[in-house]
Chain A
Amino acid sequence: MADAGMLRFHVPEPEVRPGGTPDFSNVTIPKAGSVPRPEIDVDPRTIRDMAFSIIRVLNRAGEAVGAWSGLLSDQELLEGLRHMMTLRTFDARMQMAQRQGKTSFYMQHLGEEAVSCAFRRALQPGDMNFPTYRQAGLLIADGYPMVTMMNQIYSNEADPLKGRQLPVMYSSKEHGFFSISGNLATQYIQAVGWAMASAISNDSRIAAAWIGDGSTAESDFHAALVFASTYKAPVVLNVVNNQWAISTFQGIARGGSGTFAARGLGFGIPSLRVDGNDYLAVHAVAKWAAERARANFGPTLVEYVTYRAGAHSTSDDPSAYRPKAESDAWPLGDPVIRLKNHLIHKGVWSEDRHTQAEAEILETVIAAQKEAEGHGTLHAGGKPSTRDMFEGVYAEMPPHLRRQRQQAGV
């Protein structure tokens, strides 16, 4: 027997730490177009290998290739590009606003814009997302007003959430966007419950659950997979693997399973991996999963392989735990540039038009920001009332809260 004797404790480590040379040679990237597209009624047991591959549509030449391509018109793709560019510009302005002290906190999507923007397009009105804090593309791509988002970020007098929530924890039932908790993974099982309710009610609407790589370690993730599997809930179970959970690399949550998609296999849930920086691939896989759910074939687990190019939040400094150039070395590239190149390749877009669009978008975002700031920022101008703090704990204010409100003098 080899190696009998003293036990050794194992703690996984990322390939590289600050000061090292970024290395993603361990990330196998299949060729675009190489993964087949099964029918939605496929027996999950026959597609287990999809949990270990990556579905990709856009190749290096900017062409859309393979069985997952061809679902979106030029007009829809141009609109998708605009959504991603808008989200990136929105992020940049809000990041700056936080640095200027106009709000307490912000979380940007840099590098992950395709995931939420393309996913939104695969849903239908009435479907419900249970998002985390890095899916604001669901709102942008659904036409939710940027001014309202900013009002929430600034916790100002026009904040639809009355100043009660941390910035970016939006809520919009109308836009299929469930209230963001800020606690991790809790929403995953709630999405499954919502989907169960839709099936119980013989409705046609489906749910989408969202979680990050790190939070898949929470027990609520596993509860969600059990319930989704047992009741064949009409839900798309999204895992956004952006490689980093604050400072913790994805290997700490993933353990020995190889991929996050593979987590679904033990539950008999069809589990796919997709290039999260490929707008077309994200949309095609999301559409496949949504169609399965709507056709009573039950849940699908989708792992989006992407990279968090920015900091976790405005309170984070990634240079302390990963090489600065790591995002440049990420082998799946930048989602905005990839879609832009594809559209240029198709002859429906150009560098000039892109530069012009950037300027137009910046102007629109700045105009929205001015309007929002007219309603106040966290420490200046109009803000929610102290009375608002006491409202809405219950449908009807109970006597003890009424007494406390009186004590507070409001």
Chain B
Amino acid sequence: MPRRTMIEAIRDAMDVSMGRDSKVIVYGEDVGFFGGVFRATQGLQAKYGKSRCFDAPISESGIVGSAIGMAAYGLRPCVEVQFADYVYPAYDQIVSEAARLRYRSNGDFTCPIVVRMPTGGGIFGGQTHSQSPEALFTHVSGLKVIVPSNPHDAKGLLIAAIEDPDPVIFLEPKRLYNGPFDGHHDKPVTPWSKHELGEVADGHYTIPLGKAAIRRQGSAVTVLAYGTMVYVAQAAAEETGIDAEVIDLRTLLPLDLDTIVSSVKKTGRCVVVHEATLTSGFGAELVSLVQENCFYHLEAPVARVAGWDTPYPHAQEWDYFPGPARVGRALFETLEA
């Protein structure tokens, strides 16, 4: 089976979707001729023409707002916001419009759009190229929120998102584009070409939204993670020797609660990990759900490891980033509690 980087897998997902359905339209800043600043749309304009893949003005509300109009017309736009940090001008269009169109019109109009955006830190991008705003979207009724962690999933989930009848926020952990970064920034990253999850089948396949994957089997503690933190959590488990079960949530909304609950009931302990800031982060929702559903199975308080409640810094990137050492400490504390 061919191996691809995550960027190649994402590009392939759009290529496959555009090839199968002429209603799929791809656009965004630098997306057309150049193929995007991360090259996710490289070659698509040449292959499908300027009507199907084109450059947009630097106007995120314009990009998402026009996509909503296109979806209302009957197309399936898959648009790129260059960095998740730039999505805020489009937030009104996403929250007040895309998410509610089906509901407020009782299905008279619907909004099958995908908004792709690179998310997360680890690239010395400072406060404007490193944020993880997933909780701002999981709080909104009517949206679906996906964070893939590897090329195989990224392709299957993106095709599923493009085919989904409702608006999907597709957050791509940019530190994973080239390999499964585990937080050890001082060591080279294994390229996806040497990783089994870099295996990406040709052609069409989907991964259903709302289904988590267990990345590491274990019996001592459950770690709930997504995106880059999946590899950080696995590294922490290996390095501490703790028999942790690592769950890759993949879709945050709707959430695969069944997989979470059966794992925590088995292990009796849970650590929630995300890169986004702690307070009111998606971890808070996960902790609530775990205690509501697994309270009598819990042997210890549920712990959270997250980004500090500061803006994402530049020079202090590795003090901010919740790496394997911090996750490892949380695993120990949860076992000893």
Contact = CB atoms under 8 A, between A and B. Distances in A.
Interface of A: 128, 130, 160-162, 164-165, 169, 171-173, 178-179, 181, 183, 186, 188-198, 200-201, 207, 219-220, 223-224, 226-227, 230, 392-395, 398-400
Nearest to B257: A399
Contacts of B104: 161, 164-165, 169, 171, 179, 181
Given A197-B69, A395-B110, A179 B105 contact: yes
Interface stretch (B94-102, B196-204, B299-307, B322-330): B94-102
Contacts of B144: 394
B92 A183 contact: yes
Contact of A200 (B61, B75, B107): B75
Given A179-B104, A200-B52, A394-B165, 17 more contacts: A128-B73, A161-B105, A164-B104, A164-B106, A165-B104, A173-B108, A186-B96, A190-B97, A193-B72, A195-B69, A197-B73, A197-B74, A200-B25, A200-B75, A393-B141, A394-B144, A399-B210
A334 to B, nearest CB: 34
A207 B69 CA distance: 10
A395 B93 CA distance: 19
B261 to A, nearest CB: 12
Contact of A224 (B62, B101, B102, B105): B62
B334 interface: no
Q: Which 3 A-B residue pairs are closest in the complex by CB-CB distance?
A: A193-B69, A193-B66, A223-B62
Contacts of A399: 210, 254, 257
A373 B138 CA distance: 39
B70 interface: yes
B70 A197 contact: yes
A190 B65 contact: yes
Contacts of A207: 69
B57 A201 contact: no
Interface in B278-320: none
Contact of A179 (B59, B70, B108): B108
Nearest to A388: B106
A201 B106 CA distance: 26
B33 to A, nearest CB: 15
A197 B73 CA distance: 7
B207 to A, nearest CB: 16
A76 B314 CA distance: 67
What class of interface size applies to chain B in its complex with A?
35 or more
Contact of A197 (B59, B75, B97, B142): B75
5 contacts: A181-B104, A197-B25, A207-B69, A220-B62, A227-B57
Contacts of B89: 219
Contacts of A226: 57, 59, 62
B254 A398 contact: yes
B73 A198 contact: yes
A377 B168 CA distance: 36
Nearest to A209: B69
Contact of A400 (B61, B92, B166, B254): B254
Contacts of A197: 25, 69-70, 73-75
Nearest to B254: A398
Given A171-B105, A200-B25, A395-B166, A220 B65 contact: yes
A230 B106 contact: no
Nearest to A169: B104
A225 to B, nearest CB: 10
A182 to B, nearest CB: 8
Interface string B69-91: 11011110100000000000100
A193 B102 contact: no
A166 to B, nearest CB: 9
Given A196-B69, A219-B61, A201 B75 contact: yes
Contact of B106 (A128, A161, A186, A224): A161
Contacts of A192: 65-66, 69
B106 A171 contact: yes
A394 B142 contact: yes
A223 B93 CA distance: 12
Contacts of B210: 398-399
Most B Cβ at <10 Å: residue of A201, A219, A226: A201
A172 B110 CA distance: 12
Nearest to A192: B66
A190 B72 contact: yes
A159 to B, nearest CB: 9
A400 B255 contact: yes
B34 interface: no
Nearest to B58: A226
B51 A193 contact: no
A100 B320 CA distance: 59
Given A186-B92, A189-B65, A394-B142, A230 B102 contact: no
A128 B67 CA distance: 15
A130 B101 CA distance: 13
Contacts of B271: none
Contacts of A172: 108
